[in-house]
Amino acid sequence: MARLDDVAAALEARLGARVERDVPSGPMTTYRVGGTFAVLVRARSEDDVAAVGEVLDGADVPTLVVGRGSNLLVADAGFPGVALVLAGDLDTLTIERDEARAAPRSPASPGSSSTSASRARWAARCG
């Protein structure tokens, strides 16, 4: 079982400045309140998302996909794990069967792409 500090260090080694520690959650929620994310990753490409998945594979740390923040409340004590935000041009998540793929902005096909909020709900359902 990997410790959160080890996971954060591995993410920083692979993704550099796209990984931050102790980031306030308030600016990412519609309520503008809440504790910090222990580790926040701003994935800007499919490769970034793949790197996060590889580092987290087998690591027993809490993971959260942050959408637009309209249904997000973070306890004042904070979130003690890795929060993932799709940033930059990554604005859609294509879901086929049990597989998901982040992609740059493009015209959406009905039923094949999702908003950040529905992406977060899907991720929560999948565990």
Do strands 90-96 and 79-86 pair parallel, antiparallel, or not at all (unpaired)?
unpaired
Alpha-carbon distance values, 17 to 21, 72, 118 (Å) = 10, 24, 27
Question: What phi, psi does 106 have (nearest 5°)?
Answer: -160, 165
Q: Which residues pair with 94 in a beta bridge?
A: 101
CA–CA distance, 114 with 39 (Å, rounded to integer):
25
**Whole-structure pTM value:** 0.73
For residue range 4-58, list pLDDT tens digits in order. Answer: 999 999 999 999 999 999 999 999 988 999 999 999 999 998 889 889 999 999 8
Map out the domains of the chain as residue ranges: 4-126
* Fold (CATH) for 4-126: 3.30.43
